[in-house]
């Protein structure tokens, strides 16, 4: 494990899914001091995601902060315009990070603007400006597609059974939302 980054913290947005769990492992392997942040923004999947985040927290023995933002309504599956901007801004605002990285597990291959390189670059500039250059935004899987993230996940022998990915928040998972379809394509 590298130690040159131990003076810096990685505040990782965790959702309980494959991407965020892979991010925790990836950044830990790079030698970062890891802390997670889970944002409850009214998503339908909140309860199951929160349960999975607790399991990820235990698996890696990391601290995870819970931040609740209320829109006064429960949000369903599908694209939520501005979601990743909200998550990144909330992490910067509520994450109590003085120096280091805010990390998000977005990957290539999605049609959403807030998973694009252009979006990440713009948000990186915002994060750096607000923190006087002491904090930056990292998206280590930005050039990887979901298949490559999943291959990394399995090659590192991370426990798939503790993750949860269903935008509807149902048990069993709905099988029809984008997250469920991704898992189906990956045969996981």
Residue 95, pLDDT score = 72
What tokens appear for 188 in the block? 């996981």
Q: What is the band of 121 on the pLDDT scale with cuts at 50, 70, 90?
A: very high
Residues in the chain: 188
Q: Name all contacts of 108-114 with Cβ < 8 Å and 24+ positions apart.
A: 108/141, 108/142, 108/143, 108/144, 108/145, 109/145, 109/146, 110/146, 112/79, 112/84, 114/82, 114/83, 114/84, 114/85
Residue bearing the bigger pLDDT, 1 or 29: 29
Residue 1 domain flag: no
Contact 169, 46 (CB under 8 A): yes
Task: Please give the model's pTM, rounded to 2 decimal places.
Answer: 0.91
Cis peptide before 172 (omega within 30 of 0): yes
Which of 4-8, 64-68, 156-160 has the least mean pLDDT? 4-8
Task: Count the domains in the chain.
Answer: 1
Residue 82 domain flag: yes
Other beta carbons less than 10 A from residue 77's beta carbon: 19
3-state secondary structure of 35: strand
Residue 62 domain flag: yes
Residue 171 domain flag: yes
Which of 6-10, 28-32, 149-153 has the least mean pLDDT? 6-10
Residue with tokens 């996981």: 188
Residue 4 domain flag: no
Residue with tokens 């090659």: 155
Residue 106 domain flag: yes
Residue 91, pLDDT score = 95
**Cα–Cα distance list, 97 to 37, 73, 123, 164 (Å):** 11, 29, 16, 27
Q: Report the pLDDT averaged over residues 153-171.
A: 96
Q: What is the DSSP string of 155-184?
A: HTT--GGG----TT--SS--S-SHHHHHHH
Range among 6-15, 53-62, 65-74 rated most confident: 53-62
Q: Report the pLDDT averaged over residues 115-138.
A: 96
Residue 77 domain flag: yes
For residue 162, what are the domain limits? Answer: 9-186
Q: What CATH number corresponds to the domain at position 135?
A: 3.40.50.620
Q: What is the band of 188 on the pLDDT scale with cuts at 50, 70, 90?
A: confident
Residue 3 domain flag: no
């Amino acid at each position: 494990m590298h130690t040159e980054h131990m003076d810096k913290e990685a505040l990782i947005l965790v959702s309980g899914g494959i991407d965020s769990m892979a991010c925790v492992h990836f950044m830990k392997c790079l030698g970062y001091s890891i802390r997670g942040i889970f944002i409850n923004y009214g998503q339908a999947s909140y309860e199951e995601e929160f349960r999975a985040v607790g399991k990820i927290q235990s698996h890696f023995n990391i601290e995870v902060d819970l931040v609740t933002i209320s829109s006064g309504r429960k949000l369903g599956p599908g694209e939520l315009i501005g979601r990743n901007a909200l998550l990144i801004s909330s992490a910067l605002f509520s994450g109590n990070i003085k120096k280091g990285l805010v990390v998000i597990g977005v990957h290539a291959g999605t049609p959403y603007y807030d998973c694009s390189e252009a979006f990440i670059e713009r948000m990186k500039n915002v994060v750096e400006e607000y923190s006087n250059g002491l904090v930056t935004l990292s998206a280590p899987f930005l050039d990887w597609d979901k298949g490559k993230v999943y291959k990394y996940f399995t090659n590192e022998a991370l426990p798939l059974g503790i993750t949860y990915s269903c935008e509807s928040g149902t048990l069993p998972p709905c099988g029809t939302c984008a997250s469920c379809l991704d898992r189906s394509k990956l045969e996981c």
